[in-house]
Amino acid sequence: MASQQILKFLADQNRPFNANDIAQNVDKEFGKSAVQKALDKLVGQHKVMVKAYGKQNIYCIVQSDATSDMPEQVRRLNRQINEMTAELEKGGDQLKLTMTELNRLQGTKSLGEVRCEYKELTAQIEALKEKLSQYDDGNAETVSDEERNAVLQEREKIIKEYKKRKRLCMDIVDAIMEGYPKTKKQLMEEVGIETDEEAEFKIKE
């Protein structure tokens, strides 16, 4: 039984422990839940005393004798409990610091990664400098505002005509569909009409 093993362990050690420490020192077949239930039962039977320190409960065996030195034993146990609690708090603070440092290091790039990025950025800078030099030495062809506006106007004209013809085409397809027994997709495949999506065509506004 878990209760018997826990009681024997606390009696042999004769010092306070938290529930996790007790669970690690009794038979492994008893899980933390079973150990906790057994401790609650022993406390209810006044065989084990419990004292809360912060969010943690500390357990120790109730002394069987009622000798005159009982107050001193209680004080000794309380001192041990206080020492353990202080150690636990110190360990918790150290764990937080360690986790913070670990998270910081995990978010930091290695020296090899930094060197690789440096090479890539250097190559990009050189490529941009080369491209910029083509404009600086006057070798690059330039387009006047008049030529640019003429091209834009021609483009707008072509797009407008394209949309008009597309609309007329789809109107014809919709008219045929009124007496066509199959789907619109099948009709368009039979007459050889390709949609913008199929042709991967998209007008950039």
Domain 2-104 belongs in CATH node 3.30.70.270: no
Q: Where are the domains of the chain?
A: 2-104, 165-205
The mean per-residue pLDDT over the stretch 11-16 comes to 87
Share of the chain above pLDDT 70, in %: 88
Q: Which distant-in-sequence residues (6+ apart) come within 8 Å of 62 by Cβ?
A: 46, 47, 48, 49
The mean per-residue pLDDT over the stretch 65-81 comes to 66
Residues 141-184 pLDDT 10s: 667 888 888 888 888 888 888 888 888 888 888 888 888 888 88
Supply the pLDDT for residue 68: 45
CA–CA separation, 14 and 65 (whole Å)? 13
Region of poorest pLDDT, from 32-46, 57-71, 120-134, 143-157: 57-71
